[in-house]
Chain A
């Protein structure tokens, strides 16, 4: 079945802004994808920077999805959505860049959904989700869109 924004929002009950194209099939890819201030990176690309913490707990992604980052000022979140039993997720990740918020393992296509940015489809595989930073004076700050 072709997955569209329409079918994803029906399935999860999550809303997207109404000017987004709802009927177009969401491309499912196995490479790097950015969604606003988040990026989904196939684990093998940054394998040397990433390790699982020994106490990492994996959880199944429930039908209504997992909120990866809650957006600020207006509350737009990035939500990971998967068919039951096809995706597990953990936040127990060490990242030498300090940007990873977690890792997920999918055995079927899964989707990252955002009210403003629409959806990104990820092919089966293991992915790391990182946030975006910018430079502020001598420090870095996390970007929030």
Chain B
């Protein structure tokens, strides 16, 4: 069962990460069908080359009302009605499940599908799609439009998994909603439905991710260029899931790192350079060094950084494949002058406690 769930998850993750051109005829037909389901005529379509282009361009021959700008997406009527449609679908399917499956089976299945598929895909969607939306629009986090949650592939993946794992049949109305919504998810990712026009973004032409979660969740990461790139040149750079300015990846110079105010971005840039290399290039002052307890031959070196921060350069307890031992930096509060005390702090221990370390691997 778990293997089947993982296979379904991979399939839907594939739709989320796809870099094929959007299937425009399929997307348009399916979105039109969804408009019909909420009692509206099919919209005209305005295809844009990237999420950023959706913000910068308006549908041709159309003047937007003040409430129709993307920043006020949550006030638009169509997204609200489509969200309600998705809610009704959920209600109907829940009822059908209660009628068809015994309590225990329902609970087991729900837990499995939620854990292995829905939650995992929702996290991947957040890390991949939301990061792009944020890069394009700069929302304050507490005002992230709820419509984007509706675009998440986890909803249709859930129903797909129910169908495939239980053989449960849906009713005609449910199929009428599931079918076009599934098609949209498979054909494109981001779309913005206004009353009579619908803006749809093309897919990116390149996307680089890494697996980071327990259940196959992915996040954006690319050390040698943009993590996401669209045909019109708009791109997003990311370091292990954190969206960063392009210089962090392309030119993480010591001067730029020094100018950066945001600690998280600064850390990403330093990690991109490598801690040992950065300390060298930035000429950080060595405060003190000491043998690393439990790690024979290795030294802990404490350096002064800007602000009220110091960095402890430590040596890995186990060797890499090529036999060398990786060095890594840990930032610690600036009041430490003893490397042992600083190392202890990273584990919530005193210098005296940490010095009892017997073995590090």
Interface residues of A (CB under 8 A from B): 17, 19-20, 27, 29, 31-36, 39, 41, 45-46, 49, 70, 72-75, 95-99, 114, 116-120, 130, 132-137, 143, 145
A79 to B240, CA, bound (A): 24
Between A20, A29, A32, A130, the greatest number of chain B beta carbons within 10 A of the residue's beta carbon is seen for A32
B311–chain A nearest beta-carbon distance, Å: 9
A32 and B294 contact, CB distance less than 8 A? yes
Is there an interface contact between B318 and A117, defined as CB atoms closer than 8 Å?
yes
- Judging by beta carbons under 8 Å apart, are A32 and B358 in contact? yes
Find chain A residues with CB under 8 A from B330 CB: 132, 134, 143
A-B contact count (CB 8 A): 105
Q: How far is the CB of B360 from chain A (nearest CB, A)?
A: 4
- What CA separation (Å) do A112 and B159 show in the bound complex? 40
Tell me how far the C-beta of B163 lies from the nearest C-beta in chain A, rounded to whole angstroms.
Answer: 29
B100 within 8 A of A: no
A97 contact set on B, CB distance < 8 A:
348
Whether A45 contacts B353 in the complex (CB less than 8 A), given A117-B317, A118-B318, comes out as yes
Query: A143 to B317, alpha carbons, bound, how many Å?
Result: 16
Is B106 engaged at the interface, CB distance under 8 Å to the other chain?
no
Given known contacts A33-B294, A117-B318, A132 and B211 CB-to-CB distance under 8 angstroms: no
Besides A33-B361, A41-B347, A114-B361, 10 other A-B contacts (C-beta < 8 A): A17-B321, A33-B358, A41-B349, A45-B353, A49-B348, A73-B211, A116-B318, A133-B346, A135-B331, A135-B332
Closest to A119 in B: B361
* B267 part of interface (Cβ distance < 8 Å): yes
Q: Is B237 in contact with chain A by the CB < 8 A criterion?
A: no
B318 touches A130 (CB 8 A): no
Q: Is the pair A46, B349 in contact by a Cβ cutoff of 8 Å?
A: yes
What's the Cα separation between A19 and B319 when bound, in Å? Answer: 9
CB neighbours (8 Å) of A117 from chain B are: 317-318, 361
Q: Is the CB of A36 within 8 A of B356?
A: no
Measured between beta carbons, the chain A residues less than 8 angstroms from B347 are 34, 39, 41, 99, 130, 132-133
Residue of B nearest to A32 (CB): B357
Interface flags for B317-332 (1: CB within 8 Å of A; 0: not) read 1111100000010111
Q: How far is the CB of A84 from chain B (nearest CB, A)?
A: 24
Contact A136 B263 (CB under 8 A): yes
What is the minimal beta-carbon distance from A75 to any residue of chain B, in angstroms? 6
Do B346 and A31 have beta carbons less than 8 Å apart?
no
Distance in angstroms between the alpha carbons of A130 and B357 in the assembled complex: 14
- Chain B residues lying within 8 Å of A74, measured Cβ to Cβ, are 210-211
State whether B358 touches A36 (Cβ < 8 A): no
Contact A34 to B317, CB < 8 A, known contacts A97-B348, A132-B346, A137-B263: yes
Contact in complex: A143, B318 (CB < 8 Å): no
Give a binary string over B202-221; 1 marks a CB under 8 Å from any A CB, 0 the rest: 00000000111110000001
Contact of B360 among A34, A70, A116 (CB under 8 A): A34
For A75, give its contact among B211, B221, B309, B331 (CB under 8 Å).
Answer: B211
* Interface: B232 (CB within 8 A): no
Kindly state whether residue B65 has any CB partner on chain A within 8 Å. no
| Binary A-proximity of B289-333 (CB < 8 A = 1, otherwise 0) | 000001000000000000001000000111111000000101111
Is B62 interfacial (CB 8 A cutoff)?
A: no
Minimum distance in angstroms from B282 CB to a CB of chain A: 17
B251 part of interface (Cβ distance < 8 Å): no
Residues B221 and A136 in contact, CB atoms below 8 Å apart: no
**Within 8 Å of chain A (Cβ to Cβ): is B359?**
yes
Subset of 6 A-B contacts with CB under 8 Å: A31-B359, A33-B359, A117-B361, A135-B309, A135-B331, A136-B331
Residues of B within 8 Å of A73, CB to CB, are 210-212, 221, 240
How far apart sit A36 and B317, CA to CA, in the bound complex (Å)?
7
From residue B173, how far is it (CB to closest CB) to chain A in Å?
A: 41
